[in-house]
């Protein structure tokens, strides 16, 4: 166990080596989590005889479901029941296309009697234009942040990703482009990833691409190395020399910030930026804590690259990262993707993998990663495997039989029920638009709706102002978020009763109060009200002090402000 996992075997075997370690961890984790609850076996949330499928015929589904089931058996827990149609549809829509389902989709789905309708729905969502928008948003935020530094083009980054997700380009190709890109920040949008990571304006400084080094390992390889810049990693086995060997791949970059004369203001203003090749050969020099200077040559795990002048090091790095039987980028992507759908990946956090951090379900992670590679790094296929799984099909309600499966309390996730997730700011914004049917009237073009959404989120995003360009949001579950949801302009518009507004249209249609209340529940919570809810709500509407219109307005306001709306469950 003491050997460095990064230092074992040939490049193509890296994954296998890592997996051997992970296998050991599986044994450890199984032992430590045995016997948590002996009473758990006695009560059942549902009979555990039949796998709850989505109707997918994919061969891999059996393996995925068996692996997860094994975890339930080993830990003596009973999985939750299958989520009902409304809960499942809402969740899968939020996760795949980034917003709740519109009411017409909900009603159509409820009416569909096909036993494979969930698998069918996943296909519909994967083909939805909102799929492209959602994954572009997710990866733009991951790569350059919600408030990228000055002279980075967010729209350039988005354009690159939008095209990539629209064509369902293989994930290794996307990574290849991002790591090796050069050129104009709007024409070659992939360069914005590195532009956003460059520190200062001196390419000779060791700081220049330190962040690019750390972020690239974290984001694409799922390994955290930022500490090894100065010393050996306290937990994983990365050494300081490995950091600088990896760093030396990025030393041939230079950013050029062009300026131009603006005749209106009669001043020089920012024009475009670009990432260009910089003539750099030989080693990188770095300082050990003892003060000793050392050299590092470009080396990726065990793969050395010529440090001579004729070599484009980033292209070499991009090749090394994206080829082989099971490169680390596949593991990292599978882990991150699983985490996206379940709220918890196989490791916690998803971007800190390695022998120091035992994954839950190592065999599943391993198999999914190699299948992902075999599929040609097909991102949509990876989503199909995850979203069609039995575990993803379950309700977020837990029972006595699986209440110990609680990763929020620090337990290793067993995926015996869905975990409640906070909605991302973008998901909430888009869902409010969908719920109030504002997406149909006056549909905006991509850039304009993007601009409005960014503007709405701005008060919640806070940049730390360090050279790492890290940021936090004050969005999730905070008082400012509650105030915005209660009193903000977006909500005011959503519950507007002006002529032509959604509420007005619902209320002007003929029908009973019950019908109208049902419509508002379906638009916001993707489910019909229960009998008790309907009775209580009708009473409130009929007894209201104000007009019926305003009583309905208050109901819709309450639905949109409810925990059930604001959480992804």
Partner 1 sequence: MKLEVPQDMTRRHFMRHLASSAATIPTLEFISHMQANAAQVTRNQKACILMWMGGGPPTIDIWDLKPGSKNGGEFKPIDTKGGLQISEQMPNTAMVMDNLSVVRSMSTREADHTRGRYYMHTAFVPNQTVVHPTFGSVVSYELGGQRKELDLPSFVSVGGGSGSPGFLGMMHAPFVVGSNGDVRNANIDGNDRMRLNNRLTMLSLIEANFINSNRGDSPKAHKDVYAKAVNLMTSQQMQAFRVTEEPAEMQEAYGQNKFGRGLLMARRLVETGVPFIEVNDGGWDMHSGVFTSLRNKLTLQDQGISALVNDLRNRGMLDDVVLVWMGEFGRTPRINANVGRDHWARSWSVMIGGGGLKGGIAVGGTDEDGVDVIGKSYLPGDIWATVASALGIPLDTVHTSKRGRRMVLANGGRPIKELIG
What is residue 176's three-state secondary structure?
helix
CA distance 433 to 272: 34
Burial class for 260, CB neighbours closer than 10 Å (0-12, 13-18, 19+): exposed
Residue 42 in contact with residue 376, Cβ under 8 Å? no
Residue 286 in contact with residue 293, Cβ under 8 Å? yes
Least Å distance, CB 487 to partner 1, is: 4
74 vs 468, beta carbon nearer partner 1 = 468
Least Å distance, CB 530 to partner 1, is: 7
Least Å distance, CB 227 to partner 1, is: 6
Return the percent helix, strand and coil in the chain, to nearest 5. 50, 10, 40
Alpha helices in 3-102 (DSSP H): 14-33, 60-74, 85-97
Tokens 């839950």, located at residue? 360
> Cα 58–59–64 angle (5° rounding)?
95
Contacts of 444 (CB under 8 A, 6+ apart): 452
Q: What are phi and psi of 494, to 5 degrees?
A: -65, -35
Contacts of 117 (CB under 8 A, 6+ apart): 55, 109
Least Å distance, CB 470 to partner 1, is: 6
218 vs 384, beta carbon nearer partner 1 = 218
The single-letter DSSP state of residue 529 is P
Least Å distance, CB 238 to partner 1, is: 13
351 vs 371, beta carbon nearer partner 1 = 351
Q: Which two tokens stand for residue 250?
A: 């990025």
The single-letter DSSP state of residue 53 is -
Residue 470, preceding peptide bond in cis (omega within 30° of 0): no
Least Å distance, CB 467 to partner 1, is: 5
377 vs 556, beta carbon nearer partner 1 = 556
Least Å distance, CB 411 to partner 1, is: 7
11 vs 420, beta carbon nearer partner 1 = 420
CA distance 225 to 233: 7
Least Å distance, CB 471 to partner 1, is: 9
CA distance 256 to 122: 44
Residue 431 in contact with residue 485, Cβ under 8 Å? no
Q: Which two tokens stand for residue 172?
A: 């290794």
92 vs 174, beta carbon nearer partner 1 = 92
Least Å distance, CB 322 to partner 1, is: 28
169 vs 417, beta carbon nearer partner 1 = 417
Least Å distance, CB 332 to partner 1, is: 16
51 vs 396, beta carbon nearer partner 1 = 396
CA torsion, ordered 90, 127, 374, 377, to nearest 10 deg? -90
**The sheet that has 267-277: what strands, in order across it?**
183-184, 267-277, 253-262
Residue 469 in contact with residue 463, Cβ under 8 Å? yes
Least Å distance, CB 46 to partner 1, is: 14
What is residue 309's three-state secondary structure?
coil
Least Å distance, CB 531 to partner 1, is: 12
Q: CA-based Rg of the chain, rounded to a whole angstrom? A: 26
Least Å distance, CB 566 to partner 1, is: 6
323 vs 422, beta carbon nearer partner 1 = 422
268 vs 483, beta carbon nearer partner 1 = 483
**DSSP structure string for 352-363:** --STTSPPSSHH
Q: How far is CA 295 from the centre of its chain?
A: 37
214 vs 368, beta carbon nearer partner 1 = 214
Q: Which candidate, 377, 326, 318, places its Cα nearest to that of 14?
A: 326
Least Å distance, CB 281 to partner 1, is: 20
What is residue 259's three-state secondary structure?
strand
Residue 362 in contact with residue 26, Cβ under 8 Å? yes
Least Å distance, CB 289 to partner 1, is: 9
3 vs 539, beta carbon nearer partner 1 = 539
Beta-bridge mates of residue 261: 268
CA distance 469 to 154: 14
Q: Is 259 left (phi over 0), alpha (psi -120 to 50) or beta?
A: beta
274 vs 351, beta carbon nearer partner 1 = 351
327 vs 401, beta carbon nearer partner 1 = 401
10 vs 483, beta carbon nearer partner 1 = 483
């Amino acid at each position: 166990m003491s050997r460095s996992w990064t230092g074992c075997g040939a490049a193509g075997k890296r994954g296998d080596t890592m997996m051997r370690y992970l296998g050991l961890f599986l044994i450890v984790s199984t032992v430590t989590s045995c016997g948590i609850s002996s009473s758990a076996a006695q009560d059942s949330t549902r009979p555990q005889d039949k796998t709850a499928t989505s109707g997918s015929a994919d061969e891999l589904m059996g393996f995925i479901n068996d692996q997860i089931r094994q975890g339930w058996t080993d830990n003596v827990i009973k999985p939750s029941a299958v989520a009902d149609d409304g809960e499942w549809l809402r969740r899968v829509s939020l996760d795949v296309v980034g917003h709740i389902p519109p009411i017409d989709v909900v009603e159509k789905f409820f009416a569909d009697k096909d036993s494979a309708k969930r698998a069918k729905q996943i296909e519909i969502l994967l083909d939805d234009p909102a799929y492209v928008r959602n994954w572009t948003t997710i990866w733009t935020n991951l790569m350059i942040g919600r408030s990228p530094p000055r002279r980075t083009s967010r729209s350039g980054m988005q354009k690159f990703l939008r095209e990539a997700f629209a064509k369902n380009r293989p994930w290794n190709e996307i990574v290849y482009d991002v790591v090796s890109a050069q050129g104009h920040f709007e024409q070659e949008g992939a360069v914005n990833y590195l532009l956003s990571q460059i520190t200062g304006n001196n390419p000779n400084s060791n700081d220049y691409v330190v962040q690019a080094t750390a972020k690239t390992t974290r984001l694409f390889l799922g390994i955290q190395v930022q500490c090894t810049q100065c010393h050996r990693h306290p937990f994983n086995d990365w050494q300081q020399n490995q950091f600088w060997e990896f760093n030396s791949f990025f030393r041939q970059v230079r950013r050029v910030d062009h300026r131009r004369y603006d005749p209106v203001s009669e001043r020089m203003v920012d024009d475009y930026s670009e990432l260009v090749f910089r003539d750099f050969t030989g080693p990188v020099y770095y300082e050990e804590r003892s003060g000793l200077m050392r050299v590092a040559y470009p080396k990726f795990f065990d793969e050395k690259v010529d440090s001579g002048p004729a070599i484009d090091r980033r292209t070499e790095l991009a090749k090394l990262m994206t080829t082989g039987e099971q490169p680390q980028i596949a593991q990292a992507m599978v882990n991150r993707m699983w985490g996206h759908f379940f709220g918890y990946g196989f490791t916690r956090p998803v971007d800190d993998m390695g022998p120091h951090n035992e994954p839950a379900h190592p065999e599943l992670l391993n198999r999914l990663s190699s299948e992902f590679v075999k599929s040609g790094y097909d991102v949509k296929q990876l989503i199909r495997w995850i979203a069609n799984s039995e575990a993803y099909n379950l309700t977020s309600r837990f029972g006595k039989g699986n209440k110990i499966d609680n990763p929020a309390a620090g337990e290793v996730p067993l995926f015996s029920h869905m975990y409640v997730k906070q909605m991302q700011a973008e998901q909430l914004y888009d869902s409010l638009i969908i719920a109030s049917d504002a997406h149909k009237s006056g549909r905006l073009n991509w850039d304009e709706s993007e601009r409005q959404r960014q503007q709405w989120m701005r008060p919640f995003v806070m940049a730390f102002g360090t050279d790492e360009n890290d940021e936090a949001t004050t969005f999730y579950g905070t008082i400012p978020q509650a105030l915005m949801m209660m009193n903000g302009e977006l909500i005011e518009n959503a519950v507007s009763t002006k002529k032509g507004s959604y509420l007005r249209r619902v209320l002007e249609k003929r029908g009973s109060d019950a019908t109208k209340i049902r419509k508002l529940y379906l638009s916001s919570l993707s489910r019909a009200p229960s009998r008790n809810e309907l009775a209580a709500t009708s009473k409130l509407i009929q007894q209201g002090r104000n007009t019926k219109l305003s009583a309905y307005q208050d109901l819709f306001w309450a639905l949109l402000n409810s925990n059930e709306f604001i959480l992804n469950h």
